[in-house]
Amino acid sequence: MTMRGLMQDRPLTVPTLLSRAETSFGHKRVITGGTSDTVATWADVAPRVRRLAHALDALGVPPGACVGTFAWNSQRHVELYLGIPSSGRVLHTVNHRLHGEQITFIVNDAADEVLFVDRTILPVVWPLVASFGSVRHVVVMDDGGDMPIPDDPRILDYEELLGDQTDRPIATDVRDENTAASLCYTSGTTGNPKGVLYSHRSVVLHSLLLLGADVFALSEQDVVAPIVPMFHVNAWGLPYAAMQCGADLVLPGPATSAEELVSLLARHRVTFTAAVATVWRDMVPSLRGHDLSSMRHIACGGGAVDDALSRRYEEAIGIPLTNAWGMTETSPVVTTSRLGTQHRDLAGEARRLLLGSPGPAVPLTEIRVVSDDGAEQPRDGTSPGELQVAGATIASGYFGADPGTDSFTADGWLRTGDVATIDQWGYLRIVDRTKDLVKSGGEWISSVQLENAIMADPRVKEAAVIGIVDPRWGERPVACVVPTAGATLTPEDVREHLRDRVASWWIPERIELMSEIPKTATGKWSKQALRQQFVGAQPEPSRE
């Protein structure tokens, strides 16, 4: 017979984050940028969260219903992050940069009852409202947008809703930590978006693991600026982590141009910030004009770090970019880059390259790499296979119309669709996404490695590589290259640069110079759009 432990069985829930922020860190700040900065403390935010919960009661939104948000990173969005789950509803953050059809699919799949929309985003949302089957109210949050508020009975004003309520305890008590807290859809680059439904427990565990000294080492002394949007996998969990540790939170609001972002980071002496590579690349020209000496950690996640970019940061502000691997299904952080004791002697480029690779798994998560025949690959850093992940912060299935059962193994691990290796110290390296690998003459070319080799040339701003069908080789890589402003660059220059950097058969015959690489709704390169542009109606190459 097993003996049970005698510890308190208290649920891990979002309301515990609210209460911690209010009681332990009531004086710490939530700052929102925009035309002017709005500064509030957790002591200001908490009563507004409770009034929001009562407003949802007054609107008759039942427990378990989904409430959608179309909002920038802002204090009000933080209030929704707390008030919706703390009152037993499900926070559904929607990426307004998706196509209208995808937004309609997502809102209807989640059956959102109420939408909270920043006024600057209303021009995207309002024309779609007729296609939303379940939405009863659209609550407008005035962030300075200029779209006239439609004269429609469904429209409500956020501040009026809160003003109608008094500050009193939230009526619903979330007792079961496995209750759904929030919902985020994958971007649906292959097929319809799929819903990932986080529980209160997974949200709290993920917020804790981000604090780890070998993860992001977040503490009360930090000033944390999530630039990654709050509609992209909960801004990688950073708002909840800031509540957990009492860090100040700095949010850009609708002011998201590169110059505005760098100015925000400098103005508020930010110590930790996170975004995808596109954002860091756009900011490079603004770095020199601002004092970023307070910064201790810049996380570049959601894709590979290109070393040329990281070097620019090291030169301009003294720290290279770090990397993290994750996906919507994984809350998202599964690995973060770090130097281990075995890397003590690394310096210069080698150190930067290590910090720019995904790194080992964070606590509570497990990673493995599996070959086509289902066998786990050795941890030798050279045996690639499909990356699979498991843990208390990893999805066990999908919400909504598409159950995506193929994405899970018989023993319950998530199949990521990434090709990776793991080394003897557990450090992960991503070779490519399965669908982005280029198979030429029976051998694989990693689009990620080829892109990074091309971007090592200072004349190149961005490079994306796709495979196109080739009668002789099966597939050949095509490089889409954006020159740096003012640089002169020919396809032959790119080939010349690659000559001593990659195997000769990796060098693309076809190099397309362009002014911009199309981006996905989450700011990554849209290889699907590039394939359509160059390949037209050609079928996707078979991966068998």
Contact positions vs ligand ADP (CB under 6 A) = 186-187, 189, 301-304, 323-328, 358, 416-418, 430, 433, 520, 522, 524
Which one of 435, 439, 519, 524 is the catalytic residue? 439
* Neighbour-count burial of 414, counting CB atoms closer than 10 A to its CB (0-12 exposed, 13-18 middle, 19+ buried): buried
Give min distance, CB of 389 to ligand ADP, in A.
Answer: 10
Residue type at 397 in one-letter notation? G
**Would residue 329 show up in a list of annotated catalytic residues for this protein?**
yes
**Would residue 444 show up in a list of annotated catalytic residues for this protein?**
yes
Give min distance, CB of 13 to ligand ADP, in A.
Answer: 25
Q: Is the Cβ–Cβ distance between 376 and 361 less than 8 Å?
A: no
* Neighbour-count burial of 449, counting CB atoms closer than 10 A to its CB (0-12 exposed, 13-18 middle, 19+ buried): middle
Which residues on adjacent β-strands are paired with residue 483?
460
Decide whether 22 or 418 has the Cβ nearer to ligand ADP.
418
- Name the DSSP letter for residue 525: B
Rounded to whole angstroms, how far apart are CA atoms 255 and 34?
Answer: 5
Question: Which of 298, 242, 311, 201 has its CA nearest to residue 73?
Answer: 242
Question: Which of 208, 428, 133 has its CA nearest to residue 301?
Answer: 428
Decide whether 73 or 186 has the Cβ nearer to ligand ADP.
186
Decide whether 120 or 328 has the Cβ nearer to ligand ADP.
328
Q: Is the Cβ–Cβ distance between 300 and 276 less than 8 Å?
A: yes
Residue type at 469 in one-letter notation? V
Give min distance, CB of 276 to ligand ADP, in A.
Answer: 8
Decide whether 165 or 452 has the Cβ nearer to ligand ADP.
452
Element (H, E) at 119: none
Which one of 186, 271, 278, 335 is the catalytic residue? 186
What is residue 16's three-state secondary structure? Answer: helix
Give min distance, CB of 304 to ligand ADP, in A.
Answer: 5
Give min distance, CB of 410 to ligand ADP, in A.
Answer: 21
Decide whether 271 or 388 has the Cβ nearer to ligand ADP.
388
What angle is formed at CA 166 by the lines to CA 162 and CA 171, rounded to 5 degrees?
95
Residue 130: count of CB within 10 angstroms of its CB = 9
Decide whether 245 or 304 has the Cβ nearer to ligand ADP.
304
Give min distance, CB of 126 to ligand ADP, in A.
Answer: 25
Which one of 444, 473, 519, 524 is the catalytic residue? 444
Which residue is associated with the tokens 């994958």? 186
As annotated, the active-site residues are 186, 329, 439, 444
